[in-house]
């Protein structure tokens, strides 16, 4: 579909794992068990979302995109931009962190399409599009953090350039670090405040959130931070940011 070999990217519909994926073939547990345990998208229901992950990267211990080397990130960005070019209605990207990754500890993101059915049908007649909408949990909160992200040098490019246009360039490389270290400071402070006198018994605060780019084809997209209400940890002053719906209407 892209007229190019996608060597560094693997994509599936959410909840529709691929038994030919490299991570499944390399698993020692057998195909049937592995495809439901480690395959990309296997922990999600059949949502109307695409799941993307990088392939063939050097740091096999990488859990998130910012832990990939610069060369591997550029290769991933190149392949991802090719795919976005043939998904004309792709509109929102979701970067899960912590509990939102559903124990799939590898770099990956989710993508929604305004006309999901049409985009899936364009991929091939044998593709059966998922129909289940992406829904937020009952106890979740979300903040519009656009001003904070665009005010950071690693996200400033989004003020004048759509994410999809910057993707094949070096301008968005720092954005991955921003996504995954966004709450690093507040979490470390919360961990320190617990004292951790019995670290095996105390439950230290964890990073559980999803960063969303709402409008990947627009300049100055809306950037949203979604998280469970129970584990709400924010940098000082962020609690006054506008609250928004946990998910965009087109997801």
- From the list 137, 129, 134, 177, the residue with the least C-alpha distance to 153 is 177
| pLDDT higher than threshold 90 for residue 18 | no
- From the list 60, 62, 23, the residue with the least C-alpha distance to 39 is 23
Percent of the residues in the chain that have a pLDDT greater than 70, as a whole number: 85
Q: Could you read off the pLDDT of 7-17 as tens digits, one per residue?
A: 899 899 998 88
- Mean pLDDT, rounded, for 212-230: 96
Q: Residue 22 half-sphere exposure, CB side, CA atoms within 13 Å? A: 11
Looking at residue 195, its pLDDT comes to: 56
- Mean pLDDT, rounded, for 233-245: 93
| pLDDT higher than threshold 60 for residue 155 | yes
- Decide if 215 contacts 92 (C-beta within 8 A): yes
Sheet strands (E) in the chain: 9-13, 50-54, 90-97, 109-113, 140-144, 209-214, 222-228
pLDDT class for 86, splitting at 50, 70, 90?
very high
- Mean pLDDT, rounded, for 156-162: 97
Looking at residue 41, its pLDDT comes to: 77
Q: Which token pair is 170? A: 């070096």
| pLDDT higher than threshold 70 for residue 25 | no
| pLDDT higher than threshold 60 for residue 168 | yes
| pLDDT higher than threshold 80 for residue 23 | no
**For the CA atoms of the chain, what is the radius of gyration?**
18
- Mean pLDDT, rounded, for 157-183: 94
How far is it, in rounded angstroms, from Cα 63 to Cα 179?
A: 13
- From the list 57, 72, 65, the residue with the least C-alpha distance to 22 is 57
Q: Could you read off the pLDDT of 38-79 as tens digits, one per residue?
A: 677 788 899 999 999 999 899 989 999 999 999 999 999 999
How far is it, in rounded angstroms, from Cα 57 to Cα 54?
A: 7
Q: What are the phi and psi torsion angles at 66 (to 5°)?
A: -70, -10
């Amino acid at each position: 579909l892209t007229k190019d070999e996608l060597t560094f990217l693997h994509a599936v519909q959410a909840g529709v794992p691929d038994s030919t994926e490299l991570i499944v073939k390399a698993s020692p547990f057998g195909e049937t068990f592995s495809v439901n345990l480690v395959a990309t998208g296997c922990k999600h229901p059949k949502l109307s979302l695409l799941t993307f992950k990088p392939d063939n990267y050097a740091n096999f211990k990488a859990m998130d995109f910012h832990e990939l080397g610069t060369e591997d990130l550029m290769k991933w960005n190149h392949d991802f931009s090719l795919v976005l070019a043939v998904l004309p209605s792709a509109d929102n990207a979701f970067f899960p962190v912590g509990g939102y990754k559903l124990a799939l500890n590898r770099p990956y993101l989710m993508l929604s399409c305004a006309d999901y059915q049409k985009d899936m049908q364009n991929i091939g007649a044998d593709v059966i599009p998922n129909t289940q909408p992406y829904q937020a949990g009952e106890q979740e909160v979300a903040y519009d953090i656009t001003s904070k992200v665009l005010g950071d040098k690693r996200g400033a490019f989004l003020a004048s350039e759509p994410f999809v246009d910057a993707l094949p360039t070096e301008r968005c490389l720092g954005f991955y670090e921003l996504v995954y270290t966004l709450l690093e400071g507040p979490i470390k402070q919360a961990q320190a405040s617990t004292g951790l006198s019995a670290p095996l018994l105390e439950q230290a605060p964890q990073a559980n959130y999803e960063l969303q780019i709402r409008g990947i084809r627009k300049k100055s997209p809306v950037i949203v931070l979604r998280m469970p209400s129970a584990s709400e940890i924010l940098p000082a002053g962020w609690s006054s940011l506008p609250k928004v719906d946990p998910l965009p209407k087109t997801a």
